Amino acid sequence: MPIPLISHGITEGLSAIPHAYTAIKWAAVVAVVALLKYYFGGARNTSERLMHSKVVMITGGTSGIGSSIVHDLASRGAQIILLTQHAPSDLFLVDYIEDLRQTTNNQLIYAEQVDLRSLHSVRKFATKWVDNAPPRRLDMIILCANTLKPSRFGAPKLTGDGLDEEWQVNYLANFHLLSILSPAIRAQPPDRDVRIIFASCSSYIGATIDLKRSEGVITTTNTKSTTTTHAKSKAGAKKKPKQKQNAASMYGITKLALMIFAKSFQKHLSSYKRPDDRPMNARVLIVDPGYTRTPGTRRWITGGSLWGLLLYLLTWPVWWLILKAPEQGAQSFLYAAMEARYGRGGENGSNGGWYIKECREMETLRKEVDDEEVAKQLWEFSEEQIQVKEKESAKRRALEKAKEEEEKKGGSTATSTATNSGNNKARAAGTKKSRK
């Protein structure tokens, strides 16, 4: 049928074929849309790696890009440890893990409760993981957990530790987790390919390091770096005039700080001298997945309002075209996890700290990322902030525990008094009957 129509069109002209021009126009439109979709979909991971017996720890693995990474690695046989804020007995988490096990044909998928909004929760899990002899196997850590305020100009949301939620979830909790897990990473056998993968974002390009969002902290900013200490706060250091900032800039600050820490963490690992005199086998990689239709992105586009959600639904074809699907956003992470040249015996040696975007290595666009002085100051600030906040948290927990014990003691005393009163009445009544 098509061949006679084509030959008829060639001999008689396209006007001789019914609806020929309409079909050609629509075919051109479909072709343009397909090409644009392919372009905005980004690069595809072509690397392969045997993942059986590999132990992968991941944050943010229950939604968005993280869930796509988990599904792909689990399908390849990796053992997955999901770090989530939900308890392992949570019904949603139970159903999610069961569904993953069935669709990937992999029963080695587990969950551990780690609330990144609580420094105590992070320490509790990490110390339990490290406190094991011999050291537990750990082949990969993927840090995908992320949060972003729905509104550009909304007030910052504070965690239970009194810190900006974006700062704590996107950066400080990751710093805390890896700082404690560092001995477990360094204790892995020398023939093991260990990778730590950070999730970044292009928002780091326009960010300026400014840590004054943290409660009770005074910030002194210069042109090169930011020095923030609680000691200055106690000593009454002079504050510089406040600069106008976009309320959404905290997200960019967290991503820039995370990249600075990633580079310095690789140097921290590489400087460790192993007892067997073998070179360090842990590699740090930073991945930018590109613009993706994750739940956080949708929440930010809609501004957290119903009107924004309605506008998003009306313009959904545009977002579908220019934003990646979570499976497409996961490709650079999978490339970082599987590409052989980033492994223990790869051609890049033991440098580490590579920045991956669109499944290829790129240079970072901020000099602060490789600035050792900035990294040192940020590291010291983070350690001090965690120390101060954990002390405050410990005091709160102690007061809450004392209050609960006091309430229980008061309740038991009241119950004991009521019981004794009832017994005395019963005795009195029994005495009267006996006299009669």
**pLDDT of 289-316, one tens digit each?**
999 999 888 888 888 788 888 999 999 9
Helices 119-130 & 173-186 angle (0-180, nearest 10): 10
pLDDT grade for 13, boundaries at 50, 70 and 90: low
pLDDT for residue 173 is more than 60:
yes
Q: Buried (b) or exposed (e) across 207-236, using 16+ Cβ within 10 A?
A: bebebbbbeebbbebeeebbbbbbebeeee
Q: 65 and 185, same structural domain? A: yes
Q: 146 and 35, same structural domain? A: no
Residues designated catalytic: 255
Region 397-426: mean pLDDT is: 72
Which of 390, 414, 431 is at the close of a domain?
Answer: 390
pLDDT for residue 419 is more than 50:
yes
**pLDDT of 39-57, one tens digit each?**
999 999 999 988 998 999 9
Q: 177 and 31, same structural domain? A: no
Q: 144 and 216, same structural domain? A: yes
Q: 244 and 200, same structural domain? A: yes
DSSP 285-346: EEEE--SB--HHHHHHHHTTSHHHHHHHHHTHHHHHHHSB-HHHHTHHHHHHHH-GGGSTT-
435 lies in some domain? no
317 lies in some domain? no
pLDDT of residue 351: 73
Region 410-431: mean pLDDT is: 59
Higher local confidence (pLDDT), 55 or 401: 55
- How many domains does the structure of the chain reveal? 2
21 lies in some domain? yes
Q: 13 and 156, same structural domain? A: no
Q: Say if residues 174 and 199 touch (Cβ distance below 8 Å).
A: no
145 lies in some domain? yes
Give the structural domain span for 22: 2-40
Q: 59 and 31, same structural domain? A: no
Q: What percent of the chain has pLDDT over 70?
A: 78
299 lies in some domain? no
* Residue among 48, 109, 101, 111 nearest 78 (CA): 109
298 lies in some domain? no
pLDDT grade for 427, boundaries at 50, 70 and 90: low
* Residue among 267, 322, 265, 270 nearest 143 (CA): 265
Region 141-167: mean pLDDT is: 85
pLDDT grade for 7, boundaries at 50, 70 and 90: low
Q: 80 and 19, same structural domain? A: no
Instruction: Output phi, psi for 292, to 5 deg.
Output: -130, 150
Q: 60 and 32, same structural domain? A: no
Q: 246 and 174, same structural domain? A: yes
Q: 71 and 104, same structural domain? A: yes
pLDDT of residue 4: 67
Q: 129 and 9, same structural domain? A: no
